[in-house]
Structures are given as structure tokens and as C-alpha cells.
Amino acid sequence: MDAHIKKVYVPMTETGFYILLSLKKPNHGYAVVQSVKEMTDGDIVLTPGTLYGSLSKMEKDGLIKFLKEVDKRKLYKITDLGLEVLELEIKRIERLYRNSKMVMDDKMETM
Amino acid sequence: MMTKKKEFKLIEIFEFEKLEKWLVQMHREGWKFTDVNLLDIYCFEKCEPQEVIYRMDYQVKRMGDDYFQLFSDCGWEHVFNMNGFHIFRKNDTECNDGLRRDAEIFSDDESRLGMIKRIFRGRFIGGCLLAAGTLAGGIVLINQSINNIQYAANYWGLFLFSMCIVYAYMMLIIGKRYFNFEKQMGDASKALIKWRVFIGGCATMAAVAETLLIWGIVR
């Protein structure tokens, strides 16, 4: 993974993270909108302008790849590089969770 | 009964929020936007007064089917496109998100600034060329007519000069808005440096132009 990718995508925004996650299996733009909405209980609402830009940028950076066009909708899927970035992020978030849990539990006991 | 209406309105594309609001207002009054031409004449069609949201996007490239399909899947009707300016609309009743996030086509600052950057690049280079062109034309014509007050080129030269001032002013406004956006959304100190470099560049250009003109007159 080159320095540019690491700098831009690690850490990544919650939205970016969920877009990548939704592309673990082949999906088109609107399916990503729906899947992210479902996964976050409606907390993240993707808008078409933003999503179109994110998909183009991720494709350019090689995190996702274009598979084919079905009914005017472009199907994308995550690449090996994209998976690598996603795993780095997951590790970071796991550590975030572990540390916050540790500190907060400790605080509870002393209170 | 009148079913179509044309209105002239000057809106600099950088003030797209103003345009969006105006189109919403017209629709509320029963006038549905259909198109706009290069002379800033906006055409409307009579319709039922409705609460409709208008949004604008700017794309340098020619967009493929997937772009329009994605917007359409998200409930946006593509109304109009001219030189990369895309206008979309959506019925207010279709926005059912409590925070009204589905009433927007951009949901973060990065993508919003991205569009403004595309407009800036698209408009700025063209505008600067126009300003430089009219300035050069003005200098040549005034130089030619300097010994002949009655010469028509005098008026043309003055006309081109005033056009140059108009274009330069427009570029200044566009530049100012662009850097303001950048300041709001990102690194304020970086935006300030860029703005100073930009103003410095403009001032240098103006100074060079003036020197050329004075040199031409003296000669």
C-alpha cells in the first residue's frame, strides 16, 4: 500500500467505511445507499452527488473496481487493496473499542 | 391563459443557492422550470403550485447513464443540463428523513467543496482569458486611435476596457467566494495564503496592463 492511499484512507470517514463494507459483494450505487441505511438504522443517509464522487475516487485509487453495467447501473466490487485498507481500519476500530471499554469500565469501578 | 413564461435573471453560477431558492419559489407559485439559455433567460411552464426542491451539480466531464440513473434511483428528476450544469428536482413529499438529509445531493463538506472547485476551475480559466483578451484588444485599439480623437476605435477600445473591468470584477467575486468556502471547510491559513497569492497575481497583472497602456500613450 503506498503512502498516498494510507494518508487519504487511514483513518477513513464512517461513510467511506460503510461504502467499502457494502462492496464486499458486487453492488451498484443505489444498493449501497440502501445497505448503508439498513446497517446504520438510518443514521447514515447517502446522497447521490456525494456517493457518485466517492465511488469515482475509490475506483481511481484502486480500492474498488468496476465490473459491468446492468440497466444503466454500474456494478462495483472491492479490490484486494480495498480489503487491505478495510482490514487496517477494522484493526484500528477494534483497538478504539478495546481501549475505550477498558478505560470506561475502570472508571465505573472507581466511581 | 398563459402557459409559458420567460424571465431574465442574472445569477452568477457561484450563487447556486440563490438560484435553487428562486426556482423553489417559482414552483411554489405554479411555475415549473424547464430550461435556461446562454442569455440568462429562464423558461417556465404553468403547473400546480407545489413544494419542490431544486439542486444543482456541476460536472466538467460528459456524464454517463449511471450518473443520471443513480440520481433517479435516489428520487431526483434530472431537469436540465447546460455545459455541465445539471439541475435536479425532487418533490418535498418524497423527503421523509427527519433531518432532511435526503433533500440534499451532497452530504458532506468534502463533496460540496468538490463541486465548488469544479466550478471554479471551469469558470475561472475562461473568465481570465476573456479579461486578458478584452484588455489586450482595448490596448491595441486605443494605441491605434491615440492621435485621432474622432476615430471609432477609440470607443471600441473604451468598450473593451470596460468589459475587461467587468470580467476582472467577476473573477474577483468568484475567487473570493471560492476561498471563503475553502476557509469555512478546511485549513484557514492555507486558504488565506492562496487568497493573498491570488490577489497578488491579479494586482501584478493589472500593473503590467497599466504600464503597457501608459507606455503606449506616451509613445
Render B52-111 in DSSP notation, one character per residue. EEEEEEE-SSPP-HHHHHHHHHTTPEEEEEETTEEEEEEEGGG---TT-GGG-S--SHHH
Q: Write out the residues of chain B at the interface with chain A, using a CB-CB cutoff of 8 A.
A: 55, 57, 65-71, 73-74, 76, 97, 99, 101-102, 104-108, 111, 114-115
Q: What is the pLDDT of residue B209?
A: 72
- The whole-model pTM stands at 0.81
pLDDT tens-digit map of A88-108: 999 999 999 999 999 998 866
Asked if B111 lies within 8 A of A50 by C-beta distance, the reply is yes
- Most B CBs within 10 A among A52, A67, A73, hence the mutation to make, goes to A52
> Would you state the torsion angle of the CA atoms of residues B168, B169, B171, B172, taken in this order, to the nearest 10 degrees?
120
The most confident of A10-14, A24-28, B110-114, B214-218, by mean pLDDT: A24-28
Q: Average pLDDT, stretch B122-146?
A: 74
Q: Out of A25-29, B114-118, B173-177, B205-209, give the one with best mean pLDDT.
A: A25-29
Complex ipTM value: 0.91
- Contact list in B for residue A15 (CB cut-off 8 A) is 107-108
Return the amino acid letter for B168: A
The conformational region for residue B25 under phi > 0 = left, psi -120 to 50 = alpha, else beta, is: alpha
- In which band, very low, low, confident or very high, does the pLDDT at A111 lie, cut at 50, 70 and 90? low
- Residues with Cβ within 8 Å of A10's Cβ and at least 6 positions away in sequence, in order, are A85, A88, A89, A92
At B211 the three-state DSSP class reads helix
B129 or B18, higher pLDDT: B18
CA-derived radius of gyration, chain A: 16
- What is the rounded distance in angstroms from the CA atom of residue A73 to the CA atom of residue A22? 16
Is residue B106 within 8 A of residue A50, CB to CB? The reply is yes
Residue A57 has pLDDT above 70, yes or no: yes
C-alpha cell at B142: 486605443
Identity of the highest mean pLDDT range in A50-59, B110-119, B165-174, B175-184 = A50-59
pLDDT at A61 exceeding the cut of 90: yes
